[in-house]
Structure 1
Amino acid sequence: MSHSPARPRPLVPLWAAMPAAAASGLMMALAYPGAAVWILAFPAVALLLLTLIGRRAGGALLVGAVYGLIMFGILVSFTSRYLGPIPWAALTVVEGGLTAVALILTTLAYRWLPKAFPGTTARLVLLPAIVAAIWIGRELFIGNWPYGGFPWARIGMTQAESPLAPVSSWIGVTGLGFVMVMLVAVIIETTRMRMWRRPLRLIVPVALTAVLLFTPLFPTTANGSMRIAAVQGNGPNGYFDQREAFSLIDAQTEATEALYGEDVDLLVWPEGSIDADPFEYDTVARRMTQVANRIDAPLLANTATGRGDLFFNTSMLWQQDGTAEQIHDKRHPVPFGEYVPDREFYNALAPDLIGLIGREYTPGENPPIVDVDGIAVGLAICFDVIYDDLVHESIEEGAQVLVFQTNNADFRGTDENLQQLAFARMRAIETGRSVVNISTVGTSQIIRADGSTVTSLDADEAGAMLEDVELRTGLTAGVVLTPWIQQLLLWGGLGALLIGWWRARGR
């Protein structure tokens, strides 16, 4: 009579796994700005994986919850700056909870796959690849659900200032994250199997490390320059700021005056840079026309606009003749910030907070691009910068430079603006385009296609940037391959896990 082998014991007992998961969550949070210690992402992944190996589903859920709640609790603490602990706690619990549930799949991969695919190659290559694919699948899941998702905490985004960032120009931020996690998982298996006794078996981790460290930027083609002015007005743009009529456009206009007489091809103001819809209010429209004529260039501005019964977060290219035929509406309005899903349900839970959000923004459908004298300029409004589909769409439509308009006034004194700036830097590297990232209150920067900074404006100060911004053409492999890589990793990881379960069950 045969007996099935006993389930492997956890590598780390639960009493030690809990603080280890907490340390992992802390290190992962510190890998993002403001600390931005990018290398901490690797030991964070290692600690988390070690705590999951050999666990039952319940133990994995508990360990994953500790990791997820601490990591998200620190990372999105900026949400409590003005609105208090309820939005912060809600976002932390939802994202941390979904992370904990998804990490159960990692534990199952470590349980089933070594049985299903025995052998050294499977342990050193196949198992780490599937573990990394499941990690990326989890990021894609919480980046798309619920309510459009929140792809803020993708591990690839930790590398904005590291030598590993150029990898994203070949396989996207998603692919970079996959290789990072796979390298850690390979090192874990190499250590568990004592592969240092056979140096030739170390070729996998050595090769992955070389890929990460020595991959050059994917080449794009320089195509001249565009003289872009970007103005940070530092006006009262926060939700609870006291403001008078025209205070926003006044602040922007005053900070723009230093540029009058300069040679400018495009003037950029940030998200929320004007007080009212210029298509409805002639006073605002006349002010914008005056600025465009004084600067002798079109003005790219942003405000809330209405069409029928719908409201949009709209960027418009305002011409010197007072027209604006080219507009772009924000594609991903922020749930509980720019609209309230299932309003009746949430209003019953927190009527005071939900009541603050009086306007319901509608997702835009128009292309994220404007044409400025024959030059295509790609756009992303605020948190839209973290969504691959929108940024890549503008590049595929021919954008030669990217402009990101944002309003960070509700997060003054926090790391939120630095996190968003890091995402903008990763977008420059991934797409091979210069980026103009302009905020109402900072930090604003002009960034080269290699991720280096041309010039910047400090937070909480009014100022203007004027630079000859390099234009570039050509699609990077990262832009072309990202949708395919995401689908391959998402469904490939799940499919491999199911096959592993089936084969392990038979054995």
Structure 2
Amino acid sequence: MRSVYRVPSYADRVVAPPITPDAPDAPARRRVRLPLLRMALAVAGGGLLYLSFPPRPLWWFAPLGFALLGYVLNERRARAGFGYGVLFGLGFMTPLLRWTGEFVGLVAWLPLALACAVLIGISTAAMAVVSKTRLAPLWMACLWVADEALRGVFPFGGFPWGKIAFGQPEGWYLPLASLGGAPLISFAVALTGFGLTWAVRNWKLGVPLAVLPLVAGLAATPLVGTNPSAGTATVAAIQGNVPRAGLDFNSQRRAVLNNHVKRTLELAQDVAAGKAKQPDLVIWPENSSDIDPFRNVDAADEIDKAARAIKAPIAVGAVVIDRNDNLPRNTVVLWDPEKGPIDTYTKRQLQPFGETMPFRSFFRIFSKTVDRAGVFQPGSDPEGFAMGPAKVAIDTCYEVAFDGVVRDSVLAGSNLIAIPTNNATFGYTEMTYQQLSMSRVRAVEHGRAVVVSATSGVSAIVQPNGSVTQRTELFTPDALVATLPLRGETTLATRIGAWPEWVLTAAGVLALALSLYARRRKDTDDGPAGAA
């Protein structure tokens, strides 16, 4: 029997490729590389978002960050969307919130950044689902607003510090604040970024969605005015400085009070010499008197001396011990030059990991420094002060980050906003610049001039159009004096309040529900056919 086996020829060995069953599979490599690329782009997108925030004037980085996020979420599953969103959130929140751990360590900073990133991941999981629908950029931008709404109430009573609007005091989107507040700015920025991503796939859809928010911001610019419909007031903001940065500045409380008294007396001398205008009212910072003036006669005498010298009422940031429960309140005391203390405002929105410590006993397991956080009690009355010709809304430090808190104080009848703040507890970090940008957004949102008075800086005078006309340096004693317009009328954003946020959130959630329903119905319809 002849054999059918043939010895391979030389041509066969040259032309035919060698059999290499163990060689790497190119499609498999691509399946590994693409997720790694998306992960890197997600972190980079979050990093761009962080870089768009003050003190850097790179507001246009924010839409680019959302464009990268839109790319990595495009037609992904919800589980992948969650993972990419957490990475995006970490790239954004970890550097943004570095100030929270400046003096209490990683125990506050990293868990808070991770918690915010997880909440962002929940919203990006939903975005991945709606990314397959028509007008996907619109629904994804709505879901980002929903995420910010959630972070405004959770965790720890709400932490809205990373609202996109707060990084836009220099940008073209700022005028939108007068129409729909901070949520409308966040929506417009996100829509621009997601629209840029979709423009690559469908320019007829993506380009209009990317351009429309910018056009709307520019069109709203004439609505942002400085008309002094209720007259004017000359305001002084005192920055007395502190002995040293950090939580330990409290150990020299008398020195802090003396610094602010001294700088006020120096201003009074300048007024008497004609070097400065006579102020109608004076704003001292938060914690300018951590000695309770209602219990300490010496502190009361010093404040009284300053008020009589400057011949104007002073809003004094003080720590007051309540006589009923013996617990501290972060209070602003209205000190009249003739009558002494005549009114008070107690901070309503307290700062976690500073004035309060959530889950103190749990976090104490990891670090004893948590006991340096306070046990302050919140107030409830939004009413501000009548000071000279002005009715002043008081929003102390952390409160400026909360839409409803600021709006309530404005609706109490104010025509001027004061932000007494103590940034000494965060040293030379970016916190003070981030907070100043919030004050600028609030000025446009409510059509009010804003006076920022900080213990160690940055103090500033903000016009109703959001522009900063005067500011101080960090850890430098100073006094700012300016004549500001008093606005009696309210903006559309003030009148409608949280409605834009609610409507945009509802639209995003409805789009998500319809997407899930359509997918479930498709799977049901395909089931019998697949079985057959």
Name the TM-score, length of structure 1 as normaliser.
0.90
| Residues 27 and 44, structure 1, Cα contact 8 Å, conserved in 2 | yes
Q: Please name the residue that 2:235 is paired with.
A: 228
Deviations 1:431-476 (A, max 9, x none): 1111111111111110111112221111111011111122112111
Summarize the Cα distance change of 1:342–1:330 in structure 2 as closer, same or farther, 3 Å threshold: same
Cα distance in 2 between the residues matched to 1:16 and 1:334: 38
Cα distance in 2 between the residues matched to 1:421 and 1:368: 22
| Residues 247 and 275, structure 1, Cα contact 8 Å, conserved in 2 | no
Q: Please name the residue that 1:321 is paired with.
A: 338
Cα distance in 1 between the residues matched to 2:214 and 2:65: 17
Q: Please name the residue that 1:210 is paired with.
A: 215
Cα distance in 1 between the residues matched to 2:105 and 2:252: 25
Q: List structure 1 segments (4+ residues) > 3 angstroms apart after TM superposition.
A: 201-209, 241-245
| Residues 175 and 482, structure 1, Cα contact 8 Å, conserved in 2 | no
Cα distance in 2 between the residues matched to 1:46 and 1:368: 42
Q: Which moved more, 1:255-264 or 1:375-384?
A: 255-264
Summarize the Cα distance change of 1:128–1:406 in structure 2 as closer, same or farther, 3 Å threshold: same
| Residues 447 and 453, structure 1, Cα contact 8 Å, conserved in 2 | yes
| Residues 234 and 280, structure 2, Cα contact 8 Å, conserved in 1 | yes
DSSP-derived class of the 1:335 partner: coil
Summarize the Cα distance change of 1:260–1:90 in structure 2 as closer, same or farther, 3 Å threshold: same
Q: Please name the residue that 2:67 is paired with.
A: 46
Q: How does 1:224-373 map to 2 (within 5 A)?
A: 224-236=231-243, 238-241=246-249, 243-244=251-252, 246-261=254-269, 262=271, 263-307=278-322, 308-309=324-325, 310-347=327-364, 349-357=365-373, 359-373=374-388
- The residue type paired with residue 51 of structure 2 is L
Q: Does 1:106 align with 2:155?
A: no
Q: CA deviation at 1:182?
A: 1.9
- The residue type paired with residue 166 of structure 2 is M
Summarize the Cα distance change of 1:182–1:80 in structure 2 as closer, same or farther, 3 Å threshold: same
Q: Please name the residue that 1:446 is paired with.
A: 461
Structure 1 gap segments, 5+ residues each: 1-8, 115-122
Summarize the Cα distance change of 1:134–1:371 in structure 2 as closer, same or farther, 3 Å threshold: same
Q: CA RMSD in A?
A: 2.1
| Residues 368 and 380, structure 1, Cα contact 8 Å, conserved in 2 | no
| Residues 65 and 100, structure 1, Cα contact 8 Å, conserved in 2 | yes
Q: Does 1:145 align with 2:162?
A: no
- The residue type paired with residue 226 of structure 1 is A
Q: CA deviation at 1:194?
A: 4.6
Summarize the Cα distance change of 1:217–1:281 in structure 2 as closer, same or farther, 3 Å threshold: farther
| Residues 192 and 211, structure 2, Cα contact 8 Å, conserved in 1 | no
Q: CA deviation at 1:146?
A: 1.6
Q: Please name the residue that 2:510 is paired with.
A: 495
Q: Please name the residue that 1:399 is paired with.
A: 414
Q: How does 1:455-470 map to 2 (within 5 A)?
A: 455-470=470-485
Look at both structures and tell me which one has the larger radius of gyration over its CA atoms: 2
Cα distance in 1 between the residues matched to 2:343 and 2:52: 39
- The residue type paired with residue 136 of structure 1 is V
**Count of aligned pairs between the two proteins:** 480
Q: CA deviation at 1:244?
A: 4.0
Q: Please name the residue that 1:67 is paired with.
A: 88
Cα distance in 2 between the residues matched to 1:391 and 1:226: 21
Q: Which moved more, 1:67-76 or 1:364-373?
A: 364-373
Q: CA deviation at 1:63?
A: 1.2
| Residues 137 and 209, structure 2, Cα contact 8 Å, conserved in 1 | no
Summarize the Cα distance change of 1:168–1:464 in structure 2 as closer, same or farther, 3 Å threshold: same
| Residues 333 and 363, structure 1, Cα contact 8 Å, conserved in 2 | yes
Deviations 1:268-317 (A, max 9, x none): 11010013111121221121111111111111011111221132110111
- The residue type paired with residue 149 of structure 1 is G
- The residue type paired with residue 258 of structure 1 is E
- The residue type paired with residue 440 of structure 2 is R
Q: How does 1:187-206 map to 2 (within 5 A)?
A: 187-195=196-204, 203-206=208-211
Which of 105, 108, 111 lines up with 1:90 in the alignment? 111
DSSP-derived class of the 1:451 partner: coil
- The residue type paired with residue 381 of structure 2 is N
Q: Does 1:186 align with 2:207?
A: no
Summarize the Cα distance change of 1:209–1:238 in structure 2 as closer, same or farther, 3 Å threshold: closer
Cα distance in 2 between the residues matched to 1:134 and 1:266: 43
